[in-house]
Structure 1
């Protein structure tokens, strides 16, 4: 892939990409993001011809992550290409100019920064409560990256912080009107010994990245059920579709479902997806001391298959779950070719279902696909911001404006 990207710099393909660039700076985000998609598509097609194979998702993300001018989408490479084409060698080494305050947004010239300044400093809908600007949110992102690095070093972590409260609530409590900070601050202080003088928000942001899965399942169950009889079932079954290694690595966060549903004895999770690391028959996952003492169980089953294949292969033995959930499925973008048969099956069998996405664009795309398959979407389950999505957003990689977060949006829920 490195050689393929290097070959692009010596190819006329880059010069062709400059045809898409706007003549004047603009803040029409739909137009700019469409240009970026064209440029990425052109780059990926070149790479696939060079490699003589399809690029992987990781390689695609590598191309999508290039810094770009906020109002014309130029990259360093496109600037150099244009300079070389025009023979302006004095500008040949000119590079993108980062915002001096956040260093995470860029423009290709002082004139383009003048055009971008108002947008960059205006309130951004996708930030915390829509109160922060892109620049302010970028600074919070940088601060969180530094905190996560500090956390990894002091706690000897080899990845993200995976944590869930160990306490069990005395009764089910509706999630309506609750918040991450209200639910986690006290528990985090106790668990990590954080003094009252320090904010717990950096910890909440880090923890919510994975705990969002457990909380989003509970939120969807509450919205898709009339009454609370589901909170008193002996066994609650959840099928996680499009599952991957992240759902296996973060198994502890699903125990929070048991901790918030004290009358449920057993939680059975079926992790189903073509990219699952391995298949395993039902087995019992280790739980906290209190759950063990009370005889409560967390059962896992792992299946390497698409969900419609799993249902078909199960035949008459298939038992509909209390909920099917897909986290950040990419169904409208990266994985759109694998999902349509699953959509149709979920709708036809009337299986309670919820999909989440990283950002608004993905959520609205998936909602359209679900409706096209015949689903009538629950108004609280998307497309809409997820109140229990990750509190740890990052700039959306293939755009010049906007943020995305793990399960940050609810794409659609139905039954």
Structure 2
């Protein structure tokens, strides 16, 4: 049985550092914008708006990693610009992460992975001529240039990076006001009649037809971009777009349930397992209410978070919204720490209607740890949903599944319920490569 540890605080949230701060466009401690940011004189990887913020961050985190960053800097020296290719920078970045001993996505790993470099010659600042500096793009602040290279990059690419910067500002505002970094924007009241999620073309349809944001239909386009000129309305639309990075989990689950259960419209109960659950899944826990809101016949929803990075405890009831409570509906969550292939042999296990592993990356990271679970899921008595951010991961995962002889209820394809807020890829295949939460999805099912 799962041990009876203290109940997790589902309202708490981790504090992921904004990309703008990693790129030294925000104070690394308080996240405020300042025209007088000063770098750490030792590692030169972080900047602060004041001595007070620098001291606070030193005592909180930076003193633990500064020496490692300094050591990495000393291993580099001047690199000439001519003939340098992206693969040279990419390989150096991967080597830096390995040398630092950093774990992704911890703070050290992100600082190493997102260190600014020249967009044109792919050199980091420590590889420039003595005393030379990198200049940030004045529009997105996420692209840098050395003084020897042209100071521009494609406008379409810059616009996407400006979205990342805008989302960072939402994150900062949200954290400063509420202490949270996840925005949840879903249906406030349960639907009275079932309307298939598959009937919606995109997030615009979801918000304006399935959800209760119909009043926003004339104020945004299908990319959830604001179309008028009111600052308060703009913020509301931006929060809806930012919120898709959280609610993508719940809508992808609903889409998978519709694909595997023909009678989902009349389903009275659901048992879901979230495999490898971590920060993103825990932050989105309140949004699981959306399954009750979109599936009117559903009375009982049970969710099990299973993974080596979760807290352990027995099942306990979660408070539903007032309307669902009046209708006798309920949600319960259980948490079990450990690998899923071990969990299936415990007394806590009950065969789920659907299991899901969001961004497992099992073919890229921790392959040995994941393999026993993946081998089990290839012949499990239930379908399992998988998602990935980039196609490179999908290619690796398909190789593993084919080796195991797995079948598919849905082959890999672009997920229309992917998050709409882009993220900068740490070690991408090209400069400024971006990805989206749950961009790809597929469903494994025993043949």
TM over 0.5: yes
**Structure 2 residue 73 is matched with structure 1 residue 9:** yes
Give the match for residue 98 of structure 1. 136
Work out whether residues 214 and 254 of structure 1, in 8 Å CA contact, stay in contact via their aligned partners in 2: yes
Q: How many residues align?
A: 362
Q: Distance in 1 between matches of 2:213 and 2:66?
A: 42
The alpha-carbon distance between structure 1 residues 57 and 394, as it changes in their structure 2 partners (threshold 3 A), is closer
What runs of 5+ residues in structure 2 fail to find an aligned partner? 1-64, 220-225
| 1:8-157 matches, cutoff 5 A | 8-10=72-74, 13-15=75-77, 23-24=82-83, 32=86, 34-48=87-101, 55=103, 57-58=105-106, 59-79=108-128, 91-111=129-149, 117=153, 120-121=154-155, 133-153=156-176, 155-157=177-179
Work out whether residues 163 and 252 of structure 1, in 8 Å CA contact, stay in contact via their aligned partners in 2: no
**Structure 2 residue 298 is matched with structure 1 residue 264:** yes
The alpha-carbon distance between structure 1 residues 313 and 35, as it changes in their structure 2 partners (threshold 3 A), is farther
Work out whether residues 81 and 123 of structure 2, in 8 Å CA contact, stay in contact via their aligned partners in 1: no
**Structure 2 residue 248 is matched with structure 1 residue 212:** yes
The alpha-carbon distance between structure 1 residues 6 and 303, as it changes in their structure 2 partners (threshold 3 A), is same
User: Deviations for 1:351-405, whole angstroms, at most 9, x for unmatched residues?
Assistant: 21111123333343333333333223455x52x3321111111221223232123
**Structure number with higher helix proportion:** 1
* Match among 175, 178, 183 for residue 161 of structure 1: 183
Give the match for residue 283 of structure 1. 316
Q: TM-score, normalised by structure 1?
A: 0.78
User: Deviations for 1:270-324, whole angstroms, at most 9, x for unmatched residues?
Assistant: 1000000x2122211110011111111101110001111111334xx74321111
Give the SS at the match of 1:324: strand
The alpha-carbon distance between structure 1 residues 334 and 63, as it changes in their structure 2 partners (threshold 3 A), is farther
Give the match for residue 362 of structure 1. 393
* Match among 187, 200, 207 for residue 212 of structure 2: 187
> Displacement of 1:258 after TM fit?
1.0
> Displacement of 1:109 after TM fit?
4.8
Work out whether residues 329 and 335 of structure 1, in 8 Å CA contact, stay in contact via their aligned partners in 2: no
Could you say what the CA RMSD is over the residues aligned between the two structures, in angstroms? 3.0
Q: Distance in 2 between matches of 1:291 and 1:96?
A: 55
Give the SS at the match of 2:328: coil
> Displacement of 1:175 after TM fit?
2.0
The alpha-carbon distance between structure 1 residues 39 and 190, as it changes in their structure 2 partners (threshold 3 A), is same
Q: Distance in 1 between matches of 2:326 and 2:196?
A: 26
Q: TM-score, normalised by structure 2?
A: 0.72
| 1:316-355 matches, cutoff 5 A | 318-355=349-386
Moved more, 387-396 or 263-272: 387-396
